[in-house]
Structure 1
Amino acid sequence: MGNLMKKWNQLSLVTQIAIGLIIGIVLAIGIPETAKPITILGSLFVGALKSIAPVLVLFLVMSAIAQHKRGHQTNMKSIIVLYLIGTFLAGLVAVIASFLFPVSLTLASGAENLTPPGGVVEVIRSLLLNLVDNPVKALLNANYIGILSWAVLLGFALRTAPESTKTMLSNFSDAVSTIVQWVIKFAPLGIMGLVFDSIATNGLSSLLDYGKLLVVLIGCMVFVALVVNPIIVFIMIRQNPFPLVFKCLKESGITAFFTRSSAANIPVNMTLCEKLGLDKDSYSVSIPLGATINMAGAAVTISVLALAAVHTLDIQVDIGTAFILSILSAVCACGASGVAGGSLLLIPLACSLFGISNDTAMQVVGVGFIIGVLQDSFETAINSSTDVLFTAAAEFAQWRKEGKKIVIKK
């Protein structure tokens, strides 16, 4: 047993996750009823990540800002610009793809009791109110905009504090980071439970009726991940972007695919940034911020499903309106929460651009929930992995200017 554990620990985390993934699939297909208790492993893993992430963000950001040395270079402006450009281009890709491959829907019910936002102004208003949320409430509800705002304010307020106080903050930050590493070690078991639950509960038969819609949705996300994002990264670092792209997809995208929560994947992304040798002052802020506003996958979902409703109702759309949809989907995506299904309730906002009634739009949301087992998994994978990708691209671009060699650490 000792030798087996030693060999297991010698495997990389990605290999361990792949093994857990395969076991989960085999159990879900072979003995779904007998193996049903293992679903608790997935719930425990996601629950642990979601629980520790708000505390991790609070202490990391607060400690980083409190100990920030004047004149030390951070890349937050570049990162935010990359987030916004990436989200807009994803929405634009989805709009173009929806015109090239129009999809009509069999509208579904099941979302009637949900209440979507009333408009873009309401989405922005909600974001602003989250900024000034009660700090304890923000931690309890995993409101990362609120956590970030309070962590930044407290960090600035503590910059004049005694060194002993700053050391204590640093120690707390290190302690929480250590707990995160412990949780991530259980990722193979968590992924096994999550994939088993997904296949055993939902199956894949319910998705066949929406095959063309899924092909367009997932195709857009794959195109953004493997074409659009690499082009953006190449412009920034002026060298082959694919080692970095594939590393982010492999180490961040896989866990995000199964947890289906950008918020739960924050600890995973923090660990990946550390492995890449990135500046803690930058990634401790950019990663939780990205979990809220860097939503390329959400922009794709909003655009594709809104235009699917348009094609279903045979509404004529001109180029100008389609371009406005790209902008609107990017703005809406920034308001999508970092939890499973967060983008679906923003579809009615995009549908309103074409005069589609809220009742019809909510039927489209119902379709979104039906295909959510795949749609939301791919969406979260691209959203979360891109947080690390753009954070790294901005810092590597700075390294290039300073003449430093860019090495993607294994």
Structure 2
Amino acid sequence: MSVASASTEPVPHVVRGSAAYRRISFGLFLAGFATFSLIYCVQPLLPLLAANFEIGAAQSSLALSLTTGLLALAIFAAAAVSESLGRRELMFASIGLASLLNIAAAITPAWHAILVIRALEGLALGGVPAVAIAYLAEEIEPRGLGFAMGLYIAGTAFGGMAGRVMTGFLAEFFSWRFALGGIGAMGLVLALGFIALLPPSRHFTPKKGFDLAYHARAWASHFRDGGTRAFAKPMLFAIAFCAMGSFVTIYNYAGFRLMAPPFDLGPTQTGLIFTVYLFGIASSSLGGAAADRFGRAPMLIVSLVLMAAGVGLTLTPHLLGMIAGIAVLTGGFFAAHAVASGWVGRLGGASKGHAASLYMLAYYLGSSVAGSTGGWFWSEGAWPAVAGFTLVLITLAIGCAARLGMTRASG
């Protein structure tokens, strides 16, 4: 529950290096870890799901796309609900419920029932991403926000890596059902660690009741602010859609390519390749800190160009080229996400939660729409078609970032 100041003195923001800063950073690192391990634990299992249920690549990708698609919609509701319930409590409930649903998916026999559960899991997890960004923007002093946001994004990267690697290992030596259940159990433990670490909000007061008109005005305000802010935020939303869409598309269908000739890798070997997420853990923190020092637009452009270079490397016929390409793509993506999400928080004004929810809506719609669309490109033209599709998305994102760099919308 939020703690309002009992005096007329303003409550100071949390400064970098303090004990509270460390608790917040590590608590939200755990939240990001849990959220992304639960979302993406199915990604290395897509070829196994396709074989087990006798379905195609695009159909198997629904186990992820439905989660991210419903997550995108739930973020809107979560941002509004958190205005009444509080940031910290909603994030804890979201992680706990999603973990239980992941365990339920592991023991459900029917494919369509699994899809329903995974969709519900996306709804549950809507209470974390946008709320986490809003919490950081409200509680951390502006000079330390970029680094704190980078640490949160690092948690999402580490969770995404662990979810992929662990499920690949557990699926090969036990079963894909055991793998899903194990990730769900881990999520419950992480939820308890999160609630024990994260301090209550000090710069947020819950609003009584639910005022739909208020929330509608708050969302609309981010498209009609005066000056360059109204231009900057939609550009950042478009970048989120294109960058996340291209990133998830590569990861969705990389497993299909790696398990087929000429590579013929198994689930564990394929999962281990995704340890390149370590590049995302490092680049998210470095990207956020570099944006604080050198400017957001230049760092955003550099990060997106790295993504394009990574996709190009995956077109080589050699395994090392594929691994190097995924590593470069991952580093570029997480740096771009750290910069863009921190920028949205700075531009959010009095309704940071609503600005963050719009950013995350675009982010996860990109994951859902592009992630499934990539299945058509895989079926029609294999990996070159998938790479071409993602390069188009990244090029659009670079164009938006370059346009932002020509303005003074620095926040």
TM-score when normalising by structure 2:
0.30
TM-score when normalising by structure 1:
0.30
Bigger RCO (CA 8 Å, 6+ sep) = 1
Q: Which has the larger radius of gyration?
A: 1
